[in-house]
C-alpha cells in the first residue's frame, strides 16, 4: 500500500488543484429544455437575464463547453481553503463493522463553513470585472448569505442580503457573520422593496419565506444600475462552479487508488450534489460503472414525489420558468432544520439526469438523519450541518447494506458543511423534541395544479 | 521558487506528521522550582497527584526526556484533523502593504474548533489505559469542555463537565456540543459537590467562577474511584502535548524554505503559545536567532503586570502551589470576551522562560484586538476566536513595524481557534457596545498580598 492508501486524510498540494470547472452540459445525452420568460412563456434570451447577471455568468449558464477555466483571481481565493480534505472515514467504518470503504469530501473547511463559497467567489468575480459594484441576494438559513458576504468582501463589492425574517431572529450568528464581513442584512419582508412593503401591508407580522426574499433581492437588483443579483443554487453556472469539489475528490481518490461505486450528496437546489457528482457522471456517460444517490428530506421530496415539468423558480413568478422536478412553486415545506433543503424545485441539470435514469434519489425523515449525524460525530469528530446529515445517513445505510451483502463497496459522499451554527437543531433532537414531519401529499397535489401552461 | 514557497496553504502528508512530542524541560537552562502541596507547603510527590491524574501523566509532568512518543491510538485521532494547515497570509500581507511574510498555523481546523483537542485526546488515552472510566473537568467559555467531551467519546470514557454558570447560559452552543458527544455538563456552582452546595448556600444567584468550577471538578474526581481529573492548560504535560503544533509548523516552514524571526501566540494558561513556541525555543536555546511574543489581554496582564512567585493554581487553594507569574489566586478579571485568557496565573514553563528573558510579552486592550480580527477576517476569510484575535493583533503590529523599517521579517503565529461560537462578541464590537476594560491595579495589589508564604 502507498501512503495515500493508508491515509485517513488525503490532501492535494496547491499545484494539483483543478484549473478548470467541468460543465456536464457538454456530455448530456439530450440538451436541456430551454428556460422560458415567466411573463411571456417564450424562450429566454441573454438580454432577458442581463438585468440580473453579468454576461459571463449568462454565457456559462447556456454554455456547452466541456471545461471552463477558473480565473486566477478566483483560484487565489480558493487557495485559502481548497483543496478541501478528502477523508477516509476509518473510525466510522470500524463502528459500523462494514467491509465498505467510506470517503467524504469536507467542504465545511471553507471560511463560510460550506461549499457555497465556491460559486460565491466566482460570481462576485465576474460581476466585479463587468463593473458591478453591489450584489443583492436572499438567504434562508444564512449559509448562502454569509458565503456571498465573504466573497464580496474579498472582491471589494457591496453585499445586500434579504434574510427570511424567521431565520434572521432564530439564527443571529449567521447574521453576525454577514456583518463581520461588511455585508448588510435585513429581515425579509422589508420596507425597502415594493414587494416587501406589499407583504408587510398584507401581514405586518409576516415571518417571510424564501420565495418572497428572492423577489425582494431581484427587485433590488433590477431597480439599481450598480447592482446585480446572485443565486446560490439551482442554476447551471452555480453547479458548474461547484464541480471543483468532485474534480478534487477524483484526484484525491486516484492517490488512494480508489474509485467510487456510489456517489452521495444531499439535494435542495442541487448544487453540492452536482458539485461532487458531475465529474463522475462524465465517467458514467462514457461507460464507467458508478451510481449516484441524491438525498432529500421526506418533508420536501422534490425528486421522489414531485413531477418533471416546467415551473416557476419562485413564488412571485418573477424567476425564469424551467423544466425540472417540482412540488409546485406555491409549495411551502414544514419547518425542518435542514433549511437549505426546503426548495420546491430542483436544478434542471440534476432533474434531467434523474429523469434519464442516470441518478437515483431517496427521501429521509429528519429524526433518522440526526441519529446518523450523531453517530458520525462520535466516530469522526465532526458535527455536520442538518443538510449534510442527509448524505451522512444515506452513506451509513449503504455501508450497512454492504455489511449484509459482504460487498466491499467504495462510498463517496459530500459533507457540504459544518453544523456549528445549527446546534439548536441538535439540542432539539437530543432533548426528544424533534418530530418527523409528514410528506404533505394533499398540499403538493394542490400546488401541482398551478403549474404554468407551456409548450 | 519551489511549489511550497509559492503556496498559500502548506500541508503535510500523514507520514510526515510528528511521532513524538517535544519536552522543553529537557533543554531549560535551569530546572523548574518544584511544585508544592497546597496544605503542607512541602514538595509534591507522585502519590500526591495520583488521586487526580494517571501515572503516565504524572510521569510526563516531571519528565526531562527530550522527546516523548505519541501513542498510536492518539495519532489515530490526530489523523482526523492533523496536520493542521500552515497558511501564508498573502492577502493580509497585501492589505497591510508590508514586506513581512506572515504565516499562521490554523488549529481551528480541529473538530473541537481549537488546539485543545491535542491534549484532551492524549489525556483521555492515558486515563483509559490505566483503567479510568470517567473524567471530570471544568470549563469557562466551553472550548476545553467540548474538546474533552470529544476526546472521551473517541476513547470510550464518560465525561463530566462543570461549566461556569454564566457561560452555561450565555454560550448554549458549547453546552450543546458537549452533549452531542455524550458528555454531561452542568452549571457551576452545582448541588452535586460540597464545594458547590456551600457556594449556593452563600449565594443562590452565584454565576460561578473558573476557580470554583475547578474545585468542583477536583472534588468530583477525588471522591470517586472510577474518575480522574483533567486540566486543559497550565501544566507541563498539557504544554508537552501541544508541541505537536510547533513541530508540524517547523516542518511546514522548512518546505517553504522559511524560518520565523518571531513566533507569536496568545496566553491564558499558556498551552497554545507553548505548543507553537517550544520547538523553536529549543533552537533559540541552541543559539538560533528567533524571538517570541506572548500576547495577553490588558484586563488580565499576568506576565506584564504580575509577579514571579509561588501561588495557588485555584481560588479554593486545592490545586498545587507552583512558581509562576501570577496576579494572585483571588484575582477575578473583568468579563472580557476572551474567556480563555482570564486566568490569574501562567504555565510554570512559560513563566520560567519569561523570567529568564527568553520570551517577551505584551498586553493588548480588547477593542484593538477585535478591530484586528475583523481586518484579518476580511483578508483571510476566517473569523477567529477572541483569544486567538490577540495573536492576530500582535502579528499585524509586527508586520506594520516591518513596513516602517523596511524589514522583511518572517512572522509565525498560532491561530488557536475559530470564532463560530463567539459571534455575540463580534456583534458587541460591531454595534459599538464593546468597552476596553482597565487594568485593575488596586485589585491586583490587594490580591498579591495574599500569596502563600513558602520557602
- Convert the pLDDT of each residue in A190-211 to its tens digit: 999 999 999 999 999 988 888 8
Q: What per-residue confidence (pLDDT) applies to B318?
A: 81
Provide DSSP, A104-166.
EEEGGGSTTSBTTHHHHHHHHHHHHHTT--EEEEEESSSHHHHHHHHHHHHHT-EEEEEEEHH
CB pairs under 8 A between A and B: 129
Q: Give which of A3, A73, A80 to mutate to test B binding, by max B Cβ within 10 Å.
A: A80
Beta bridge partners of B296: B363
B262 to chain A nearest CA, in Å? Answer: 23
Question: Is there a contact between B295 and B396 (Cβ–Cβ < 8 Å)?
Answer: no
CA–CA distances in Å: residue A378 to residues A258, A382, B361: 25, 8, 39
- Closest partner residue to B80 (CB to CB) among A378, A381, A424 is A381
Whether the bond into A83 is cis, omega within 30 of 0: yes
Cross-chain residue pair A374–B15, CB shorter than 8 Å: no
Percentage of chain B modeled with pLDDT above 90: 82
CA–CA separation, B374 and A182 (whole Å) = 9
**Neighbour tally for A348: CB within 10 Å:** 23
Question: Is there a contact between A387 and A269 (Cβ–Cβ < 8 Å)?
Answer: no
Q: What does the buried/exposed string (b/e) look like for B397-414 if buried means 16 or more CB atoms within 10 Å of the residue's CB?
A: bbbeebeeeeeebbbbbb
Cross-chain residue pair B179–A13, CB shorter than 8 Å: no
Cell numbers representing residue A318 in the block: 418573477
Cell numbers representing residue A234 in the block: 439551482
CA–CA separation, B143 and B177 (whole Å) = 10
CA–CA separation, B63 and B28 (whole Å) = 12
Is CATH 3.30.930.10 what the domain over A3-16+82-110+243-450 is classified as, yes or no? no
Q: What does the buried/exposed string (b/e) look like for B266-301 if buried means 16 or more CB atoms within 10 Å of the residue's CB?
A: bbbbbbbbbbbbbbbbbebbeeeebbbbbbbbbbbb
B7 to chain A nearest CA, in Å? Answer: 6
Q: Which residues from B are below 8 Å from A421, CB to CB?
A: 420
Mean pLDDT for B103-122 is: 97
A386 to chain B nearest CA, in Å? Answer: 13
- Structure confidence by residue, pLDDT tens digits, B363-417: 999 999 999 999 999 999 999 999 999 999 999 999 999 999 999 999 999 999 9
**Coil/strand/helix, residue B59:** helix
Helices (H), B7-71: 46-49, 55-62
A235 or B454: which leads in pLDDT? A235
CA–CA separation, B125 and B230 (whole Å) = 12
Q: What per-residue confidence (pLDDT) applies to A52?
A: 94
CA–CA separation, A266 and A247 (whole Å) = 18
Q: Which residue shows C-alpha cell 409549495?
A: A331
**Coil/strand/helix, residue B100:** coil
**Would you give the DSSP letter of residue A327?**
S
- Closest partner residue to A111 (CB to CB) among B8, B13, B381 is B381
A377 to chain B nearest CA, in Å? Answer: 7
Q: Which residues from A are below 8 Å from B79, CB to CB?
A: 7-9
Give this prediction's pTM: 0.95
- Structure confidence by residue, pLDDT tens digits, B116-133: 999 999 999 999 999 999
Question: Is there a contact between B174 and B142 (Cβ–Cβ < 8 Å)?
Answer: yes
CA–CA separation, A212 and A196 (whole Å) = 8
* CB-facing half-sphere around the CA of B433: CA atoms within 13 A: 8
Q: What per-residue confidence (pLDDT) applies to A287?
A: 96
CA–CA distances in Å: residue A100 to residues A97, A395, A401, A412: 9, 10, 9, 10
CA–CA distances in Å: residue B271 to residues A85, B223, B245, B413: 27, 28, 10, 14
- Closest partner residue to A109 (CB to CB) among B76, B109, B177 is B109
Q: What per-residue confidence (pLDDT) applies to A260?
A: 98
Q: Which residues from B are below 8 Å from A426, CB to CB?
A: 176, 179-180
Question: Is there a contact between B269 and B125 (Cβ–Cβ < 8 Å)?
Answer: no
**Bridge-based pairing state of the strands B262-266 and B410-415:** parallel
Mean pLDDT for B324-328 is: 95
Mean pLDDT for B43-66 is: 95
Q: What per-residue confidence (pLDDT) applies to A237?
A: 98
- Domain borders along chain A are 3-16+82-110+243-450, 21-70+114-236
Q: Give which of A176, A182, A376, A434 to mutate to test B binding, by max B Cβ within 10 Å.
A: A176
Residues contacting A436, CB < 8 A, separation 6+: A298, A365, A366, A367
- Structure confidence by residue, pLDDT tens digits, B168-227: 988 888 999 999 999 999 999 999 999 999 999 999 998 888 888 998 999 999 999 999
**Banded model confidence at residue A455, pLDDT cuts 50, 70, 90:** low
Question: Is there a contact between B306 and B327 (Cβ–Cβ < 8 Å)?
Answer: yes
* CB-facing half-sphere around the CA of B179: CA atoms within 13 A: 18
Cross-chain residue pair A7–B150, CB shorter than 8 Å: no
Whether the bond into B83 is cis, omega within 30 of 0: yes
CA–CA separation, A226 and A222 (whole Å) = 10
Q: Which residues from B are below 8 Å from A113, CB to CB?
A: 420
Beta bridge partners of B228: B135
Cross-chain residue pair A180–B153, CB shorter than 8 Å: no
- Closest partner residue to B111 (CB to CB) among A179, A374, A381 is A381
Residues contacting A88, CB < 8 A, separation 6+: A7, A8, A9, A10, A101, A102, A103, A256
- Structure confidence by residue, pLDDT tens digits, A10-53: 999 999 999 999 999 999 999 999 999 988 999 999 899 999 99
**Would you give the DSSP letter of residue B124?**
H
Cross-chain residue pair B7–A79, CB shorter than 8 Å: yes
A332 or A155: which leads in pLDDT? A155
- Structure confidence by residue, pLDDT tens digits, A81-132: 999 999 999 999 999 999 999 999 999 999 999 999 999 999 999 999 999 9
Q: What per-residue confidence (pLDDT) applies to A207?
A: 86
Mean pLDDT for A412-419 is: 97
Q: Which residues from A are below 8 Å from B13, CB to CB?
A: 3-4, 7, 11
Q: Please, what is the average pLDDT of chain A?
A: 94
A178 to chain B nearest CA, in Å? Answer: 11
Q: Which residues from B are below 8 Å from A2, CB to CB?
A: none
**Bridge-based pairing state of the strands B134-139 and B158-164:** parallel
A215 or A117: which leads in pLDDT? A117
**Coil/strand/helix, residue A393:** helix
- Closest partner residue to B180 (CB to CB) among A9, A80, A374 is A374
Q: Give which of A381, A382, A389 to mutate to test B binding, by max B Cβ within 10 Å.
A: A381
Check pLDDT > 70 for residue B455.
no
Beta bridge partners of A173: none
Whether the bond into A269 is cis, omega within 30 of 0: no
Q: Please, what is the average pLDDT of chain B?
A: 94
Question: Is there a contact between A24 and A36 (Cβ–Cβ < 8 Å)?
Answer: no
Q: What per-residue confidence (pLDDT) applies to B271?
A: 97
Q: What per-residue confidence (pLDDT) applies to B330?
A: 84
- The CATH class, in words, for A21-70+114-236 is alpha beta
Cross-chain residue pair B430–A179, CB shorter than 8 Å: yes
Check pLDDT > 90 for residue A172.
no
- Closest partner residue to A176 (CB to CB) among B154, B382, B426 is B426
**Banded model confidence at residue A343, pLDDT cuts 50, 70, 90:** confident
Check pLDDT > 70 for residue A356.
yes
Complex prediction ipTM: 0.94
Q: Which residues from B are below 8 Å from A145, CB to CB?
A: none
- Structure confidence by residue, pLDDT tens digits, B8-34: 999 999 999 999 999 999 999 999 999
Give kind and range of the element (H or E) at residue B386: helix B386-405
Find the angle CA(A297)-CA(A299)-CA(A300) to the nearest 5 degrees: 70
Percentage of chain A modeled with pLDDT above 90: 82
Cross-chain residue pair A79–B8, CB shorter than 8 Å: yes
- Closest partner residue to B427 (CB to CB) among A176, A382, A426 is A176
How far is residue A455 CA from its own chain's centroid?
Answer: 29
Counting Cβ atoms within 10 Å, is residue B332 exposed (0-12), middle (13-18) or buried (19+)?
middle
User: Same CATH fold, A21-70+114-236 and A3-16+82-110+243-450?
Assistant: yes
**Banded model confidence at residue A143, pLDDT cuts 50, 70, 90:** very high
Residues contacting A45, CB < 8 A, separation 6+: none
Residues contacting B75, CB < 8 A, separation 6+: B17, B19
Check pLDDT > 70 for residue B431.
yes
Three-class SS of B227-251: EEECCCCCCHHHHHHHHHHHHHHHH
Amino acid at each position: 500500500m502507498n501512503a495515500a492508501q493508508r491515509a485517513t486524510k488525503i490532501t492535494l498540494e496547491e499545484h494539483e488543484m483543478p484549473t478548470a470547472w467541468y460543465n456536464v452540459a457538454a456530455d448530456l445525452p439530450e440538451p436541456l429544455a430551454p428556460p422560458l420568460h415567466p411573463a411571456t412563456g417564450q424562450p429566454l434570451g441573454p438580454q432577458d437575464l442581463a438585468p440580473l447577471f453579468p454576461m459571463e455568468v449568462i454565457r456559462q449558464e447556456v454554455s456547452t463547453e466541456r471545461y471552463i477555466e477558473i480565473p486566477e483571481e478566483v483560484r487565489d481565493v480558493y487557495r485559502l481553503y481548497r483543496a478541501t480534505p478528502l477523508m477516509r472515514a476509518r473510525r466510522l467504518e470500524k463502528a459500523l463493522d462494514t467491509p465498505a470503504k467510506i470517503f467524504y469530501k469536507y467542504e465545511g473547511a471553507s471560511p463560510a463553513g460550506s461549499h457555497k463559497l465556491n460559486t460565491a467567489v466566482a460570481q462576485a468575480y465576474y460581476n466585479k470585472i463587468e463593473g458591478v459594484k453591489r450584489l443583492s441576494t436572499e438567504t434562508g438559513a444564512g449559509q448562502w448569505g454569509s458565503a456571498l458576504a465573504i466573497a464580496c468582501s474579498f472582491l471589494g463589492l457591496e453585499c445586500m442580503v434579504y434574510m427570511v425574517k424567521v431565520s434572521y431572529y432564530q439564527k443571529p450568528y449567521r447574521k453576525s457573520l454577514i456583518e463581520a464581513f461588511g455585508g448588510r442584512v435585513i429581515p425579509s419582508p422589508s420596507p425597502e422593496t415594493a414587494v416587501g412593503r406589499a407583504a408587510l401591508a398584507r401581514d405586518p407580522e409576516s415571518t417571510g419565506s424564501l420565495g418572497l426574499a428572492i423577489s425582494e433581492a431581484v427587485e433590488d437588483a433590477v431597480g439599481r444600475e450598480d447592482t446585480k443579483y446572485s443565486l446560490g443554487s439551482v442554476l447551471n453556472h452555480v453547479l458548474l462552479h461547484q464541480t471543483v469539489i468532485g474534480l478534487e475528490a477524483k484526484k484525491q481518490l486516484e492517490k488512494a487508488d480508489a474509485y467510487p461505486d456510489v456517489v452521495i450528496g444531499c439535494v435542495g437546489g442541487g448544487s453540492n450534489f452536482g458539485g461532487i457528482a458531475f465529474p463522475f457522471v462524465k465517467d458514467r456517460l462514457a461507460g464507467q460503472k458508478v451510481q449516484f444517490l441524491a438525498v432529500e428530506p421526506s418533508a420536501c421530496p422534490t425528486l421522489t414525489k414531485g413531477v418533471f415539468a416546467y415551473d416557476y423558480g419562485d413564488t412571485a413568478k418573477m424567476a425564469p420558468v424551467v423544466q425540472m422536478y417540482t412540488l409546485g412553486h406555491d409549495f411551502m415545506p414544514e419547518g425542518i432544520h435542514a433549511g437549505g433543503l426546503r426548495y420546491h424545485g430542483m436544478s434542471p441539470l440534476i432533474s434531467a439526469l434523474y429523469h434519464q435514469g442516470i441518478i437515483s434519489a431517496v427521501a429521509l425523515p429528519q429524526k433518522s438523519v440526526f441519529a446518523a449525524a450523531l453517530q458520525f460525530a462520535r466516530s469522526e469528530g465532526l458535527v455536520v450541518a442538518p443538510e449534510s446529515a442527509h448524505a451522512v445517513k444515506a452513506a451509513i445505510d449503504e455501508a450497512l447494506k454492504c455489511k449484509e451483502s459482504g460487498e466491499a463497496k467504495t462510498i463517496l459522499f459530500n459533507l457540504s458543511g459544518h453544523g456549528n451554527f445549527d446546534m439548536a437543531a441538535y439540542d432539539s433532537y437530543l432533548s426528544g423534541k424533534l418530530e418527523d414531519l409528514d410528506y404533505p401529499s394533499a398540499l403538493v397535489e394542490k400546488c401541482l395544479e398551478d403549474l404554468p401552461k407551456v409548450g
